[in-house]
Structure 1
Amino acid sequence: MPQPHSASSAMLFHMVSGGPQPVAPFSHAVEVDGFVFVTGQMPDTPDRPGVLPDGIEAQTRNVMANLGTVLAGLGLGLENVVVARAFLTEFKRDYAAFNDTYKSFFPPDRLPARTCVGTTGLAYDALVEIDLIAHRGGAAPPSSDAREG
């Protein structure tokens, strides 16, 4: 029989000030029990929504920067990431270059678990989208951007 959720299981819905512009109705991240689920980010920038750089390397760098912005707005960093999911529209062509760029954001001994999937399309005709699960590990959540649900 399922156990009732304790007060510590409250969900917090985060929109990060200065974060990437959402392309659909979603929160930048949802937090529950110390886990932070970050919405998949696109390769545009907050100051130029919908405008994408050319090439998988540049797009991957932008996606990682957007993920970093969301995490930083929550008092976290890429070192808190436990799982990443990447979606590539040109999997065979871009997989090796994507991996080279992606791994540069993490210490070699601290790579998160990861799934990488080929897909037929992404918003803005992007080449890559990545979502994350991070763990707070004792860091207190910011209070200004969260809605409890």
Structure 2
Amino acid sequence: MSAKFHLFGTGPRPVAPFSHAVEDDGWVILTGQMPTDPDAPDAPLPQGVEAQTRRVMDNLALILGELGLDLSHVVQCRCFLTAFERDYAVFNDTYKSYFPADRLPARTTVGVTALAVGALVEIDCVARRPDQEAL
């Protein structure tokens, strides 16, 4: 199978040159999502890490939905926070509300000095198509 590059008109407007997702052999890699509103890309970002995390997770879910998947297919996330010590606990509480307690993806969270569009949080992820999963 050769890689498929996906860019969706319904997805958030890219803030750099990238595809929303790239897919190969049942693996789906989603580009890091920002807390931008797909319906109003020039609107101000939501205030605070909780609201921004919700917008980012909703954007990931939107892209997965375009691919016929959902957050239950996510196997790994990388998370980036600009105010790690201040926001880590609130971020975790918000993030975990999107997954069943017994199906949390593998995850790395990194504190960074800055993110595109002045965001407080960015998350990328890897998902696996169900027909490709090994039990």
Question: Fold match, TM over 0.5?
Answer: yes
Tell me which of 97, 110, 117 is aligned to 1:124: 117
Tell me which of 13, 23, 35 is aligned to 1:21: 13
- Partner Cα separation in structure 2 for residue 82 and residue 42 of structure 1: 20
Which ranges of structure 1 fall in alignment gaps of 5 or more residues? Answer: 1-7, 140-149
Over alpha carbons, which structure has the higher Rg? 1
Tell me, yes or no, if the aligned pair for 1:16 and 1:74 is still in contact at 8 Å: no
Q: Which aligned segments of 4 or more residues in structure 1 are displaced greater than 4 angstroms?
A: none
- Partner Cα separation in structure 1 for residue 74 and residue 29 of structure 2: 10
Give the 3-state SS of the residue equivalent to 1:85 in structure 2: strand
TM score, norm. by length of structure 2 = 0.94
The number of aligned residues is 131
Tell me, yes or no, if the aligned pair for 1:87 and 1:117 is still in contact at 8 Å: yes
What residue is the counterpart of 1:3 in the other structure?
Answer: none
- Partner Cα separation in structure 1 for residue 3 and residue 99 of structure 2: 28
What residue is the counterpart of 1:31 in the other structure?
Answer: 23
Q: What displacement does 1:17 show?
A: 3.2
- Partner Cα separation in structure 2 for residue 48 and residue 120 of structure 1: 26
Tell me which of 125, 130, 134 is aligned to 1:137: 130
After superposition, the C-alpha distances for 1:76-127 in whole angstroms (9 at most, x for unaligned) are: 0000000000000000000000000000000000000000000000011100
Tell me whether 1:89 sits opposite 2:82 in the alignment.
yes
For 2:33, the aligned partner's letter is Q
- Partner Cα separation in structure 2 for residue 47 and residue 80 of structure 1: 25
* Identity in percent: 63
Q: What displacement does 1:49 show?
A: 1.4
For 2:105, the aligned partner's letter is P
Q: What displacement does 1:16 show?
A: 2.0
For 2:28, the aligned partner's letter is V
Tell me, yes or no, if the aligned pair for 1:84 and 1:112 is still in contact at 8 Å: yes
RMSD: 1.0
What residue is the counterpart of 1:147 in the other structure?
Answer: none
Tell me whether 1:60 sits opposite 2:53 in the alignment.
yes
- Partner Cα separation in structure 1 for residue 79 and residue 112 of structure 2: 10
TM score, norm. by length of structure 1 = 0.86
What residue is the counterpart of 2:32 in the other structure?
Answer: 40
